[in-house]
């Protein structure tokens, strides 16, 4: 675990480049991904595109899970076929000059149920509120609480089963940690993720993740991809 939580402008630029590759790749995947493909096919294409864009590697093995498998926050892609009505969660990151990107989006294939829409909207509200709460001098615990409170008030608190975020640098998971036990305080030029999620066992899960740079006025959000629910 790296100790250097506050990054230099040069380091932040590398992280921003890595995240920009993720955005470009995600745009491509929205055109590429179709019902009938397997999770592995989509994950392989993500990795191919990131490397073609100039990434020297991947921040972590790409996550692409669909349907009920979206209940697993760190599920690995399988030969499961992506079906009409599935949610698909994609979590990916490129490495640029040793520095990691990290982003997650959840999209719907063809159709969406009322329950899927409701859960997606709660996670999106939680994620946006978390980003609003990030600022130099704010406790990591409090950012987590902002996200968690929205999910708990909506009745899904038991299904938010991980922390809200983490620092990013030469490793994809670094300090600080944004969770219920964190005693760390955000400082200017820390890159942190904000990635609340809801995971309903046997049904589906939703996670939305951006990578934000902490400033004394709020954040610079390095992730530009659309967050309103995309139905392909």
Q: Backbone phi, then psi, for 78, in 5-degree steps?
A: -130, -175
Q: Does residue 30 sit within a domain? A: yes
Q: What is the mean pLDDT of residues 5-24?
A: 98
CA angle (120, 164, 148) in 5-degree steps? 65
Q: Does residue 227 sit within a domain? A: no
Flag whether pLDDT at 3 surpasses 80: no
Q: Does residue 183 sit within a domain? A: yes
Say what the pLDDT of residue 114 is: 98
Domain of residue 129, residue span: 9-221
Which residue in 69, 67, 68, 51 sits closest to 59, CA to CA?
51
Q: Does residue 38 sit within a domain? A: yes
104-122 residue pLDDT tens: 999 999 999 999 999 999 9
Say what the pLDDT of residue 217 is: 96
Flag whether pLDDT at 2 surpasses 50: no
Q: Does residue 138 sit within a domain? A: yes
Q: At 198, which CATH number?
A: 3.90.230.10
Q: Does residue 231 sit within a domain? A: no
Q: Does residue 2 sit within a domain? A: no
Find all residues with CB under 8 Å of 113, minimum gap 6, and list them. 85
Q: Does residue 168 sit within a domain? A: yes
Domain count, the chain: 1
94-107 residue pLDDT tens: 999 999 999 999 99
148-188 residue pLDDT tens: 999 999 999 999 999 999 999 999 999 999 999 999 999 99
Preceding amide of 176 cis, omega within 30 = yes
Which H, E and C letters describe the chain, residue by residue?
A: CCCCCCCCHHHHHHHHHHHHHHHHHHHHHHHHCCCCCEHHHHHHHHHHHHHHCCCCEECCCCEEEEHHHHHCCCCCCCCCECCCCCEEEEEECEEECCEECCEEEEEECCCCCHHHHHHHHHHHHHHHHHHHHCCCCCEHHHHHHHHHHHHHHCCCHHHCCCCCEEECCCCCCEEEEECCCCCCECCCCCEEEECCEEEECCCEEEECEEEEEEECCEEEECCCCCCCCCEC
Say what the pLDDT of residue 176 is: 97
pTM as predicted: 0.97
Q: What is the mean pLDDT of residues 207-221?
A: 98
Contact 65, 86 (CB under 8 A): no
35-93 residue pLDDT tens: 999 999 999 999 999 999 999 999 999 999 999 999 999 999 999 999 999 999 999 99
- Can you read off the two tokens belonging to residue 54? 């100039």
Q: Backbone phi, then psi, for 210, in 5-degree steps?
A: -115, 160
């Amino acid at each position: 675990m790296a100790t250097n939580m506050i990054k230099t402008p040069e380091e932040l630029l590398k992280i921003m480049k890595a995240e920009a590759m993720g955005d470009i790749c995600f745009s491509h995947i929205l055109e590429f991904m179709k019902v009938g493909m397997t999770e592995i096919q989509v994950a392989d294409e993500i990795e191919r595109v990131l490397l073609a864009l100039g990434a020297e590697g991947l921040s972590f093995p790409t996550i692409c899970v669909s349907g009920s498998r979206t209940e697993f926050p760190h599920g690995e892609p399988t030969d499961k076929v992506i079906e009409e009505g599935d949610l698909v969660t994609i979590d990916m990151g490129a490495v640029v000059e040793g520095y990691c990107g990290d982003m997650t989006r959840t999209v719907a294939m063809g159709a969406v149920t009322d329950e899927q829409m409701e859960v997606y909207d709660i996670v999106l509200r939680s994620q946006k509120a978390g980003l609003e709460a990030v600022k130099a001098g704010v406790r990591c615990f409090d950012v987590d609480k902002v996200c968690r409170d929205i999910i708990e008030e909506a009745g899904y608190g038991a299904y938010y089963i991980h922390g809200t975020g983490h620092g990013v640098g030469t490793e994809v998971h670094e300090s600080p940690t944004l969770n219920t036990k964190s005693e760390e305080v955000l400082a200017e030029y820390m890159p942190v993720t904000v990635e609340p999620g809801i995971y309903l066992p046997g049904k589906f899960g939703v996670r939305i993740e951006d990578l934000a740079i902490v400033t004394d006025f709020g954040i610079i959000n390095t992730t530009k991809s659309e967050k309103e629910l995309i139905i392909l």
